[in-house]
Amino acid sequence: MREGLARIGRVRAVINITAIACLSSVLLSSLIWSQAFGREIDWQLISTAFVVPALICPFVMWFVIQMTLDLHHMENKMRHLASYDDLTELLSRRAFLTSSQKLFSLMNRSHKSFSIAYIDIDDFKKINDSYGHAVGDEVLKSFAVILEDHTRSSDVVGRIGGEEFAIALPDTGAHGAARVVELIRKVSEQQMLTASSKATLSYTISIGISTSDSNNTQTLEQLIQQADRALYEAKVAGKNRIIQFETETHFT
């Protein structure tokens, strides 16, 4: 019901409900008058039955509908906050895992490959320490835009926490996933952000990939652990690179 009220708006809802109330009042009054008293319709009674709800209903329903719409908007906002990261507008960790599990199960049933990429912004703490958290937030938002611009509509993208992000790539093998994230790595490396009136900054990312092919029996949790391990190895190996868990192929 609240979805319907939100679609038609408060004014139209009040008009419609008032019209229904007036019509119902007239019909009910006429029925009671004729059935209970066996008399012909009294037009003064009918006029009263119409005027009273026409005067009262709009004022009452105006506030009732507004309270209902406020509750509807609040619930939608809470639902959005539960599913999306407030800063980057990407999926939150929980929402990412939920969506990825659905995709992963679908790929398993269809015997198709599925890849997970874990991404970390290199030396992000130094960025915060050197330029402040406001600039750090701009880096996160900038990278989120890159992710959205260079992934497919079928991919799932989320902010896992802090400066760590993840991409779920359905129907994508190891080499296909590497091509996608290599483009993201290059674009990120070329990004220049204003840190102050006299300085700009750039940043790099490290990426770990894990892949489940059509014959694999791994779980999503195992794939995520492998991608996280590959990301760690990319950090240890010098950052600004991609490591694929299965073959540990480097793309720099």
Give the catalytic positions in this structure: 163
Other beta carbons within 10 angstroms of residue 166's beta carbon come to: 27
Which residues are 84's β-sheet partners? 91
DSSP string, 212-239: E-TT----HHHHHHHHHHHHHHHHHTTS
Q: Closest by alpha carbon to 199, among 122, 137, 135?
A: 135
Q: Which residue has the tokens 């006429």?
A: 30
| Cα gap 30→197, rounded to integer Å | 78
- In the sheet with 205-212, reading across from the earlier edge strand, the strands are 156-161, 164-170, 114-121, 205-212, 242-244, 250-251
Give the pair of three-digit tokens for residue 234: 């990319």
Give the pair of three-digit tokens for residue 174: 């190891």
| Cα gap 199→139, rounded to integer Å | 14
Element containing residue 68 per DSSP (H, E): helix 43-83
Q: What is the DSSP letter of 90?
A: S
